[in-house]
Amino acid sequence: MCGIIGYIGPKDAVPYLIEGLRRMEYRGYDSAGVAVWTDDALEVRRAAGKIAKLEAALVASPLSGTVGIGHTRWATHGPPTERNAHPHLSADGTIAVVHNGIIENSTALKAALQDLGYEFRSDTDTEVIAHLVQELFDGSLEEAVINALRKIEGTYGLAVVSSKDRDKIVAARKGSPLLIGVGEGETFLASDPSAILAHTRQVVYLNDGDVAVIERDKYKVIDIDAMPQPRTVDRINWDLAAIERGGYAHFMLKEIFEQPTTIENTMRGRLILEDGTAKLGGINLSHEQLLNIDNIIITACGTSWHSALIGEMMIEELARIPVEVEYASEFRYKNPIVTERTLCIVMSQSGETADTLAAMREAKRRGARTLGLVNVVGSTIAREDDGGVYLHAGPEIGVASTKAFTSQVVALALFTLKLARKRELSVARGREFAQALAALPGQIKTVLDTASVIEAIAEEFKRASNFLYLGRGFNFPAALEGALKLKEISYIHAEGYPAAEMKHGPIALIDEMMPVVFIAPHDAVFDKVVSNVQEVKARNGKTIVITSRDEPSLKGLVDYEIRIPETADMLMPILASVPLQLLAYYIAVKRGSNVDQPRNLAKSVTVE
Ligand code: F6R
């Protein structure tokens, strides 16, 4: 979603701002802008659409100065036009603001400001902040911002500059991430570390309630009462290469092909083959606490929710603890049964998804212990959970989640193994499962070797208008995930169903125009799935079958076959999801979609 960048230092801010905005493009946006102090005035350039449009505006009307802020906006209040793009200027042009989040009392604040004579030039909630800071300004920008924050309700990550208190950027965070990048004689502000990684690895993550005053060679973090808030300097430990395409046509393709390594990284140092268990340093759960868990709730959104469904089945199967999977957006407004012996597992690639964060806070408030399975190091969920397991999949830039999904399932498998071995799983079964996990990276390589087969299938179906994805047991969530991948990047309508449910409704859709993807490896429910394939074939549907053996029972039923290796039933969805990702990818590319930045989608959904 929206991105914030700020620069203050000896050099021209504009190239830094544009580069930072480009690095955050993957998050999804529909307009962009910058504000720079040019020695004469605070000047703003904005454009609807992609950053290239903003660059064109800067060529037509150049800007230069050593203090600046920039923004990519994902429209919430008002359409994605130039007038709604950030930065927003105060009425007298002395204050410029960029803002992520939503000001919930903007209507009331706007009315009060209009009564004072302020005229509004945009449809945004952000513009009230600019006028409010102007109204409250009395010589010190941080004081004016703090006084404005006292009146604001809602969520924000914001950055403010002023031509009346020039050599600083004032930033504030509540519910929307921000960090300070500490450089040599220059300081950065960003909502995403990838925006500044090319210039510094030293970062200070702001917490909710923090206000930061950023100057060229120093910064301070205070709270709304101006009390100093000591914050540590962290080091970003991934390379620039991780956020670059490295020869691949798209980030999504690169991330699909990275999976042998990312899965290896998720397991590194954690899998203990000999004892058939896993070592997870960060979970902060004692032996007794692990034994005393009565029930588990896993909460998440989107793809992370699909991984949670697989986790549910693994935990119930091996650790024999009841598990419920809840959409985070639903959980937070329910009256869930949570006790001190409930463990709430929170799945999130970004660690910033607003609903997931709120669900975690709600579970905590009700007394549950929380365990975050998160990819982005230092993200809000990772910092607020009681314990955590980082995925170590590296930055995921493609909007459609791929490598984070497989790492999530692996992280859930590791946790299951640890939990189950504490309870009733034998060493022998634990070892078997651990060995199956250890073999996954090599097996994914084998699946990736079939990419050209999948590309050829994509060619056949690139014009389809609908797709059905069917699987049973552990592969039902894989069917949901396959359908989600296809619809989000190719815009083809696709549904995932448990294979046997098809005859309770979706079977009405089957005809010679309907491609049906079956996830049918040789597992405990294989024969049942074959019956479902027969039902589709009997109605002339087109079958694309992902399977793991030459099976006589499938003869004559398969129009297109994709072969995957065999593994433990529970881990099959990991291997099956790779061809599903590739199928979605190739179809989307052949249809000319913008695979890495699909329409309307954002990488981390920081609004409710
Ligand atoms: C789908 C996708 C989304 C996310 C969802 C949750 O490809 O990426 O469905 O999975 O928005 O995001 P995180 O995992 O960051 O909480």
The predicted-structure confidence for 20-50, as pLDDT tens digits, reads as follows: 999 998 888 899 999 999 988 999 999 999 9
In terms of domains, do 281 and 410 share one? yes
Residue 320's pLDDT is 96
Is residue 344 annotated as a catalytic residue, yes or no? no
Do residues 346 and 359 touch, judged by C-beta distance below 8 A? Answer: yes
Longest Cα–Cα distance of the chain, Å, equals 82
Span from the CA of 310 to the centroid of ligand 1 (angstroms): 16
In a domain, 278, yes or no: yes
Structural domain range at position 106: 3-237
Radius of gyration of the chain (CA): 25
> Over the stretch 361-409, which tens digit does the pLDDT of each residue have?
999 999 999 999 999 988 999 999 999 999 999 999 999 999 999 999 9
- Asked if residue 309 and residue 172 are part of one domain, the reply reads no
End-of-domain residue from the set 218, 237, 256: 237
Last residue of a domain, one of 446, 470, 487: 446
Active site residue 603: yes
Question: Is residue 304 in contact with ligand 1, taking CB distance under 6 Å?
Answer: yes
Q: For atom 10 of ligand 1, which residue has the closest CA?
A: 303
**Which one is catalytic: 2, 168, 344, 485?**
2
Q: What is the pLDDT of residues 99-125, one digit of tens each?
A: 999 899 999 999 999 999 999 999 999
Nearest C-alpha neighbor of 361 from the set 385, 393, 392: 385
The pLDDT of residue 351 is 95
Pair (269, 410) in one structural domain: yes
Buried b (16+ CB within 10 A) or exposed e, 290-315: beebebbbbbbbbbbbbbbbbbbbbb
Q: Which carries the bigger pLDDT value, residue 26 or residue 304?
A: 304
| Per-residue pLDDT tens over the stretch 53-70 | 999 999 999 999 999 999
In angstroms, the CA 238 to CA 565 distance is 31
Identify the DSSP state of 420.
Answer: H
- Which of 605, 606, 607, 608 most suits a substitution to test ligand 1, by most atoms within 8 Å of the C-beta? 605
Q: State whether the beta carbon of 386 lies less than 6 angstroms from ligand 1.
A: no
Shared-domain flag, residues 406 and 526: no
Give the chain's end-to-end CA distance (angstroms, integer).
12
Half-sphere exposure of 36 (CA within 13 A, CB side): 23
For 235-289, the pLDDT digits (tens) are: 988 888 888 888 899 999 999 999 999 999 999 999 999 999 999 999 999 999 9
Strand, coil or helix: 493: strand
Q: Which helix (H) or strand (E) holds 202?
A: strand 202-205
Specify the pairing of strand 234-235 against strand 295-300: unpaired
Domain boundary among 394, 424, 446: 446
233 lies in a domain?
yes
Residue 433 shares a structural domain with residue 562:
no
Expressed in angstroms and rounded, the spacing between residue 474 Cα and the centre of ligand 1 is 20
Same domain, 114 and 257: no
Q: Look at residue 603 and tell me whether its pLDDT is greater than 80.
A: no
* CATH number for the domain that contains residue 495: 3.40.50.10490
- Residue 222: which CATH number? 3.60.20.10
Q: Is 378 found in the same domain as 269?
A: yes
Do 42 and 65 fall within a single domain?
yes
Structural domains counted in the chain: 3
Report if residue 605 sits inside a domain: no
Q: Specify if 105 maps to a domain.
A: yes
The whole-number pLDDT of residue 605 equals: 79
* Spacing, Cα 345 to ligand 1 middle (Å): 16
Do 439 and 326 share a domain, yes or no? yes
Within-domain flag for 97: yes
pLDDT at 470: 97
Encoding tokens for residue 606? 């920081």
Do 124 and 232 share a domain, yes or no? yes
Q: Do residues 89 and 217 both lie within one domain?
A: yes
| 287 and 382 fall within a common domain | yes
Indicate if ligand 1 lies below 6 Å from the C-beta of 350: yes
Judge if the beta carbon of residue 604 lies within 6 A of ligand 1.
yes
Ligand 1 mean position, distance from CA 305 (Å): 8
Nearest in space to 479 (alpha carbons), one of 490, 467, 489: 467
